[in-house]
C-alpha cells in the first residue's frame, strides 16, 4: 500500500461531505472518494449475531485493534511495534475499557470492502483477524449502506487537503493558482495528485514531482527540494514536526486548507468499525471515546506529535 488509505477525489452534485476511501462503494479504491453522509452511523440495518461482547473481552483480557501499516502519522508497524496517532488512541480506548491491546496491523487491500471483511467481520482467508475494532475507517454513507456486517461509529478526526508552502507564497496566489514556475509535489496515486496534475488542463503537469507518500512529499518542501506540496493537513504537520529546521530561517512554513476541483470540499471524516450486532461493545467504545474527547486526552495525543486535531 502507499502511505494513505484515503485519497480524496469526488465528483458529485451533493452538498454532503465527501470521503476519500479505498474505493467508492461497490469498488472503493483507496485512491478514490465517494459522497459521505454522517447520518445513520448505527441502526441502519438489522443486527447480526453478537460477537466478542464485553464479558468475552474481559475474560480474554485484550482488545484486538486493527490499524493500517504505512499510514504515518496515524499508524505504522516496525521493529518498535505499532506507532502513531491511532496507536495512541487505541491504547487510550483499551485503558478506558480496562483491557490490554492486541494489535493487528495490516496492509491495505484493493478496496475498503476487503479491509472491512478481513479485519472487522470475517477475517482473512489466511487466518489473520478479525479484530474487535478497526481504526481510521471512512464514515461514508454509501459504504455504511452497502456493508451490512459492520457498524460504523465514533468519528474522531476530519482530514483536510491543502498546501504546505512558505510565507513567500500568499493566500491570494494559492487561491488564484498562481504557481507557474514553482516546483510542486503530491503523493502518487491519490486524488490530490490527480487534481493537481489535471488542473487547468494539465497546466502544472511538468512541474509536479510525485512522492511515494504524502509525508515525504511534505518533507521535500520542508527540506527545500520543492516549493509547494498538495497534501493532507496531517501529512504536512507531521513533516514540519519532524523537521530540525525549515529550509530557510527567514521563511516560515504553513498549511493552507484548499480543495481543488475533484477533491472533497469539506474533507472527510474517519472513525471506528466493529462487527454488527454488538451493542455492549459499541456503547463501551462510544463512551470511552467521549471521555477521551471531554477530558482533553484526544487533543493532547495530537498535540504531543505536533498536530492539530480537526474535529469531525
pLDDT at 110: 86
Is pLDDT larger for residue 1 or for residue 241?
241
pLDDT at 104: 96
139, burial (CB in 10 Å: exposed 0-12, middle 13-18, buried 19+): buried
Q: State the pLDDT confidence band at 302, using cuts at 50, 70 and 90.
A: very high
Q: State the pLDDT confidence band at 46, using cuts at 50, 70 and 90.
A: very low
pLDDT at 180: 93
| Percentage of the chain lying above the pLDDT 70 cut | 81
Q: Which CATH number fits domain 18-35+49-159+267-304: 3.40.190.10, 3.40.50.720, 3.40.50.1100, 3.40.630.30?
A: 3.40.190.10
Q: Is the whole model's pTM more than 0.85, yes or no?
A: no
| Percentage of the chain lying above the pLDDT 90 cut | 71
Q: What is the pLDDT of residues 69-118, one digit of tens each?
A: 999 999 998 888 999 999 999 999 999 999 999 999 999 888 899 999 99
Phi, psi angle pair for 4, to nearest 5° = -120, 130
Least confident of 33-47, 223-237, 283-297: 33-47
Least confident of 174-188, 236-250, 255-269: 236-250
Tell me if the bond preceding 130 is cis, omega within 30° of 0.
yes
Q: State the pLDDT confidence band at 5, using cuts at 50, 70 and 90.
A: low
Is pLDDT larger for residue 248 or for residue 223?
223
pLDDT at 4: 53
280, burial (CB in 10 Å: exposed 0-12, middle 13-18, buried 19+): middle
Residue 262 has pLDDT above 70, yes or no: yes
- Domains in the chain: boundaries: 18-35+49-159+267-304, 161-257
pLDDT at 54: 87
pLDDT at 132: 97
Residue 38 has pLDDT above 50, yes or no: no
Three-class HEC string of 130-195 = CCCEEEEEECCHHHHHHCCCEEEEEEEEEECEEEEEECCCCHHHHHCCCCCCCCEEEECCCHHHHH
CATH architecture of the domain 161-257 equals: 3-Layer(aba) Sandwich (3.40)
pLDDT at 31: 37
pLDDT at 127: 86
Residue 10 has pLDDT above 50, yes or no: no
Is pLDDT larger for residue 308 or for residue 16?
308
Least confident of 10-19, 50-59, 86-95, 267-276: 10-19
Residue 150 has pLDDT above 80, yes or no: yes
Pairing relationship of beta strands 161-166 and 100-106 according to DSSP bridges: unpaired
Amino acid at each position: 500500500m502507499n502511505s494513505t488509505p484515503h485519497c480524496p477525489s469526488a465528483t458529485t452534485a451533493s452538498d454532503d461531505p465527501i470521503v476519500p476511501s479505498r474505493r467508492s462503494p461497490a469498488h472503493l479504491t483507496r485512491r478514490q472518494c465517494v459522497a459521505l453522509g454522517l447520518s445513520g452511523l448505527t441502526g441502519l440495518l438489522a443486527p447480526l449475531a453478537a460477537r466478542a461482547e464485553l464479558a468475552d473481552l474481559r475474560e480474554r483480557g485484550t482488545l484486538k485493534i486493527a490499524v493500517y501499516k504505512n499510514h504515518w502519522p496515524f499508524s505504522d508497524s516496525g521493529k518498535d511495534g505499532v506507532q502513531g496517532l491511532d496507536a495512541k488512541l487505541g491504547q487510550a480506548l483499551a485503558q478506558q475499557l480496562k483491557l490490554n491491546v492486541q494489535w493487528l496491523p495490516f496492509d491495505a487491500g484493493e478496496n475498503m470492502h476487503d479491509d472491512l471483511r478481513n479485519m472487522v467481520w470475517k477475517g482473512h482467508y489466511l487466518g489473520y483477524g478479525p479484530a474487535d475494532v478497526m481504526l481510521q475507517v471512512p464514515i461514508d454513507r454509501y459504504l455504511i449502506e452497502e456493508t451490512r456486517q459492520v457498524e460504523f461509529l465514533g468519528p474522531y478526526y476530519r482530514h483536510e487537503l491543502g498546501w504546505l508552502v512558505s510565507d513567500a507564497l500568499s493566500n491570494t496566489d494559492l487561491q488564484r493558482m498562481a504557481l507557474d514556475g514553482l516546483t510542486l509535489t503530491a503523493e502518487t496515486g491519490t486524488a490530490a495528485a490527480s487534481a493537481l496534475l489535471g488542473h487547468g488542463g494539465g497546466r502544472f503537469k511538468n512541474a509536479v514531482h510525485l512522492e511515494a507518500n504524502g509525508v515525504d512529499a511534505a518533507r521535500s518542501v520542508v527540506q527545500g527540494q520543492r516549493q509547494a506540496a498538495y497534501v493532507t493537513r496531517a501529512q504536512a504537520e507531521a513533516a514540519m514536526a519532524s523537521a530540525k529546521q525549515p529550509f530557510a530561517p527567514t521563511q516560515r512554513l504553513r498549511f493552507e486548507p484548499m480543495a481543488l476541483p475533484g477533491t472533497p470540499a469539506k474533507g472527510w471524516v474517519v472513525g471506528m468499525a466493529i462487527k454488527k450486532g454488538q451493542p455492549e461493545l459499541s456503547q463501551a467504545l462510544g463512551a470511552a471515546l467521549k471521555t477521551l474527547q471531554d477530558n482533553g486526552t484526544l487533543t493532547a495525543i495530537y498535540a504531543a506529535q505536533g498536530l492539530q486535531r480537526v474535529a469531525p
